[in-house]
Chain A
């Protein structure tokens, strides 16, 4: 018995020890390591996924979509999971537009991945099909891939925007991705579940550009046709609303048909189109009277260091006023008048017209052009500047400068973005005209406009641009082209800048052709301008208000009012919207301390200074210091907290 009791005690003790061990182990798992095991289990059956944000759309000023975001799919096929490969494979091939034989061949392996991209409509019948796995992705779609391509820009290989407005406005367009947790099965597949949304994706803002799709189409088509016909090396067209600074069309093409950003980035010597700036300086300083005239030297004027020629002197008056010199584009007449200007006067006026400084349009890597300061001028620079040499401008800068004459003397910042709306369709930004400075008095602007009408009138150099029903003002310019070894013989840049119509202009157009085989601007750029304006008049473009150009009166509006908006008054613009800077050359240097470098530079440019930067980061001060007064065009050095660079 004693032995039996002993055995019973041993069994009982063993059971007690075993049970205690189980309890202790359970306590260890549950109490001590419970958190870690729970996290492991959570990680095995759930996954955290990023929910991509929809990139904002880009449209023209009338809502025509230029860039949108669409959902595309990649398709995976698991051979082993297909229920009936005999009918499944033909369905997959038919829906995806692929060859059945190709899919069968590639399905010899266990899993087939088809990158696509495939549209949602294609893969819709395959959704839920056993053995077919769909992965969605958001990509950028451009309804007309070549339309304003260089302006809008494109994503790079990695999907990030690498150029144009897509890059410049990326922070607005991109939105913010969301995050969610999904449940997975034992094989790692995501299960149909509501998903645990941790953060909603925030869609990007929609951007409405100032571009007018119709005018842009006219500009691009006419430019391409002209480049082909004239066998030019390339060309640019800029159309600007001088009342608001909004860019309505902007096209740049190379000879091979590629869309480029040259209107923003490529500079050229403006030639005779710059004569009007010398005239502006003379009129603003009251250095010339309407009846003042100079001797034309019969087309050849020999000076100490150079000889100045006029083309076709037989067509020019022997004695010419300033208006005559502009109308017939006389180099000699313009230089003789410009000699009345002191170099600082001449420089300040060119600088006031925005030359030698970026326009601050919303485009990355814009060129500032070239305008030497008077202390770097040679003995002939003043003469060269008067006739558009020794300085370089972009087509956009030239259009901005001519807009000054068109709108009565104000320099406006050109704009490409008209409106920005958030995902809830609320307007977060709307473009308002941004006057930079008053360049010339109103009466001077009117005098300059009258001179430009003379260019297009009988006897002027721009008669081939003239429309018969609407008066035009403009200026031709044919400048020698610079190559790697200096001026290239026989190569010219033909430019025509126009104000349309001459009274209360609605459009400023700049047409530039590089080395056209047709000769001077009067024979190439000017007729191209006329063709584009004729097409603009005939088109259903909202960018033009044809009312002021009307010649005949319609029947009295006695009937019922049209409800389609045909009788509304369009383009009512409050003007000027804000007080503008006066024409006094000296300006107060604004305090830009604490601002980001980009913003500080933009603010100084808008006041009229040239800017030199030292280092990167936040601005700590300027030289000359804020509060001091300095002449327009003065170089202001911006110092930053982080020193760097040269």
Chain B
């Protein structure tokens, strides 16, 4: 009678311990995952802010307000329409 009762007690304790360990592992994994997600989000935000900064620099550097004075300082100028030749694409030959 006594050994049987102890057996059930150990079984139930073991089961409870297993459930607790499972819950703990799940919680730990969730917390780790949440941390990873947050870090990934931060990294993405950092990349996006870097992209925005670079876009701003590109737009400024490529604008006519900046480019034309620099080009003129190098002795360049905007072409008149007579100095541009637009080529008409010839129709493709039939095979």
Contacts of B60 in A (CB 8 A): 144
- The answer to whether B30 and A193 have CB atoms under 8 Å apart is yes
Residue from B48, B82, B88 in contact with A547 in the complex, judged by beta carbons closer than 8 Å: B88
**A195 to chain B: closest residue by CB:** B34
Tell me the B38-65 residues at the A interface (CB within 8 Å).
Answer: 38-39, 42-43, 45-50, 52-53, 55-56, 58-60, 63-65
Does B65 lie within 8 Å of A221, measured CB to CB? yes
Q: Which residues of A contact B53 (CB under 8 A)?
A: 119
A221 to B60, CA, bound (A): 13
A535 within 8 A of B: yes
- A120 CB–B CB distance under 8 Å: yes
Evaluate whether A124 and B52 lie within 8 angstroms (CB atoms) in the complex, with A194-B30, A221-B64, A538-B78 already known.
Answer: no
Q: Which chain A residues lie closer than 8 Å to B58 at the CB level?
A: 143
A550 to B89, CA, bound (A): 9
Instruction: Confirm or deny: B85 has a beta carbon within 8 angstroms of a beta carbon on chain A.
Output: yes
Q: Is A315 engaged at the interface, CB distance under 8 Å to the other chain? A: no
Interface positions of A from 52 to 79, Cβ below 8 Å from B: 64-65, 68, 70-72
Asked whether, in the complex, the Cβ of B86 is within 8 Å of the Cβ of A534, the reply is no
Say whether B75 faces chain A, with CB atoms less than 8 Å apart: no
Contact B59–A144 (Cβ < 8 Å): yes
Residues from chain A with a CB closer than 8 A to the CB of B82 are 468-469
**CB-based contact B78/A120 at 8 Å:** no
Count residues of chain A with CB under 8 A from any CB of chain B.
48
Is B90 touching A550 in the complex (CB atoms < 8 A)?
no
CB <8 Å contact, A468 and B31: no
Cβ–Cβ contact A468 & B81, under 8 A: yes
A555 to B89 alpha-carbon distance, docked (Å):
8
Given A193-B31, A557-B93 in contact, is the A71-B49 Cβ separation under 8 Å? yes
A141 within 8 A of B: yes
A549 within 8 A of B: yes
In contact, B48 and A71 (Cβ under 8 angstroms): yes
Q: List B1-56 residues whose CB lies under 8 Å from chain A.
A: 30-31, 33-35, 38-39, 42-43, 45-50, 52-53, 55-56
Interface residues in A298-322 by Cβ distance below 8 A to B read none
State the Cβ distance, B15 to closest chain A Cβ, in Å. Answer: 26
- Within 536-559 of A, Cβ neighbours of B (below 8 Å) are at 537-538, 546-547, 549-558
- CB–CB B34/A557 < 8 A: no
Q: What are 5 A-B pairs at a CB distance below 8 A?
A: A141-B52, A141-B56, A192-B31, A221-B68, A531-B78
Given A70-B48, A120-B48, A468-B80, output 15 extra A-B contacts at Cβ < 8 Å.
A68-B52, A72-B49, A119-B46, A127-B42, A143-B59, A194-B33, A221-B64, A468-B82, A537-B81, A538-B84, A546-B86, A549-B86, A553-B88, A555-B90, A567-B92
Interface residues of B (CB under 8 A from A): 30-31, 33-35, 38-39, 42-43, 45-50, 52-53, 55-56, 58-60, 63-65, 68, 78-82, 84-93
